[in-house]
Amino acid sequence: MGDTDDYLLMSGIQHFIFCPRQWALIHIEQQWSENYLTVEGQIIHERCHDETIREKRGDVLIARGLQVISHRLRLAGKCDVVEFHADSKGVPIFNEPGLYLPAPVEYKRGKSKLGDEDRAQVCAQAMALEETFCCDVSLGYVFYSEIRHREEVTIDEKLRQRVADAAAQMNEYFSKGYTPRPKKNKKCGRCSIADICEPRLEVVDDVADYIQRELGGVGL
């Protein structure tokens, strides 16, 4: 299987798609800021990752906290929930009769977002499950606790490519220890580490350009 110690956290792709700088501050510089939203999210995931809970509902086998690895993406992590649906085109599961196809289910607080950050995380999990079980995963889900709504995620080629591109950038940035510069935008108001990032302090000009402009081009 090879050494996976240097693989990045799969959950980080959600941060990276939302904002590469946010991801770098958390995963490279190890900076984090707790608030009630992040604590609530941790509680939701702790419940989902209880590996002692495994159940079967009809033709669906439900596994929690399943470890997954993608060698293609160089990402590793845990799925909140993986549903194995009985399917004649599926694969065998240890100690279970029949054939099954996996579908990752990611639990999030809040509600559906315009951006692809949550869908990208589900897609990364799906791609890892494909490598693990040697099958095709075409669907995944995001469950939003605030509105108690489950959103279907189609694992199509466009989303797969976006995830592959993001993972490649993440690995490149991490190997170089590179943190993108701050750039203020509408997302900053929804960022849990906005106070650490301080996008308002972005330096547009270097000092020499600033002085030259303020002096109206007059030489010293």
Domains located in the chain, CATH noted: 8-214 (3.90.320)
Cα–Cα distance, 73 to 171 (Å, whole number): 9
Cα–Cα distance, 139 to 158 (Å, whole number): 14
Cα–Cα distance, 113 to 196 (Å, whole number): 23
Mean per-residue pLDDT, 214-219? 50
Residue 50 has pLDDT above 60, yes or no: no
Bridge-based pairing of strands 139-144 and 96-108 is: parallel
- Grade residue 206 by pLDDT with cuts at 50, 70 and 90: low
Mean per-residue pLDDT, 154-172? 98
- Grade residue 46 by pLDDT with cuts at 50, 70 and 90: low
Residue 147 has pLDDT above 70, yes or no: yes
Mean per-residue pLDDT, 112-118? 91
The confidence score (pLDDT) of residue 137 equals: 98
Q: Which one, of 107, 133, 82, 155, lies nearest residue 11 by Cα?
A: 107
The confidence score (pLDDT) of residue 146 equals: 86
CB 52 within 8 A of CB 63: no
Query: Phi and psi for 187 in degrees, rounded to 5?
Result: -70, -25
CB 159 within 8 A of CB 142: no
**Identity at 171, one-letter amino acid code:** N
Residue 213 has pLDDT above 80, yes or no: no
Cα–Cα distance, 51 to 66 (Å, whole number): 7
The confidence score (pLDDT) of residue 54 equals: 67
At residue 14's C-alpha, the angle toward residues 201 and 126, to 5°, is 165
The confidence score (pLDDT) of residue 194 equals: 82
Compare 214 and 177 and report the one with higher pLDDT: 177
Cα–Cα distance, 220 to 217 (Å, whole number): 9
Helix locations, the chain, DSSP H: 12-18, 20-27, 36-48, 117-133, 157-176, 194-197, 207-214
Q: What is the mean pLDDT of the chain?
A: 84
